[in-house]
Amino acid sequence: MDRVIRSTLDDRELRYDRKGPGRYFVTLPGTKKLQTNCWLVVGRHALVVEAFVCRRPDEAHEEVYRFLLRRNARLYGVHYTIDTAGDVYLVGRVALHAVTPDELDRVLGQVVEAADGDFNTLLEIGFAGAIRREWDWRVSRGESLANLRAFEHLVADRGSTGS
């Protein structure tokens, strides 16, 4: 199993650290979420996949969780969940006999697609107030808004579009 995992990660040129037998900490690249950290842990019967997506939303919890539950219906091999603190993760299990390079690639691809693709939506729903405050603070200090441009529509109606 370790050979399949290592060769798949190496072939896809993914950064990872082997943290002991059957334990891999993989860094998956993204665009909206610049990277997603993902654990691959070989268990007795399955390969467990776990990736942190974002911390507990500051606001609109029900709307965030409704989004996650609806999104779960369209995911392959993983699903959204929250931990006891309310932080959002993607988790999944692949039966050991089904772990092939193609299957591992498909599941890791789904992790990236979901974590990266849903990231801004989750931030918009669960952190809109914080984004607005950060935008205003940067405008007041003449700081760059480059990495907040994706959220400009959240402040556009207030006339705080700064540079």
pLDDT tens digits for the chain (163 residues)? 889 999 999 999 999 999 999 999 999 999 999 999 999 999 999 999 999 999 999 999 999 999 999 999 999 999 999 999 999 999 999 999 999 999 999 999 999 999 999 999 999 999 999 999 999 999 999 999 888 888 998 887 665 444 4
* Pair (6, 48) in one structural domain: yes
Whether residue 30 is found in the same domain as residue 101: yes
Domain co-membership, 98 together with 136: no
Segments in 60-100 forming alpha helices (H): 61-72
Q: What is the tally of structural domains in the chain?
A: 2
- Which CATH number covers residue 100? 3.30.1460.10
Six-digit token string for 31: 């665009």
> Which residue range(s) make up the domain with 150?
129-158
Q: Which tokens go with 73?
A: 């219906």
pTM for the whole thing?
0.89
The alpha-helical segments, DSSP class H, found in 73-142 are 101-126, 128-141
Helices and strands (DSSP H and E) totals, the chain: 4, 6
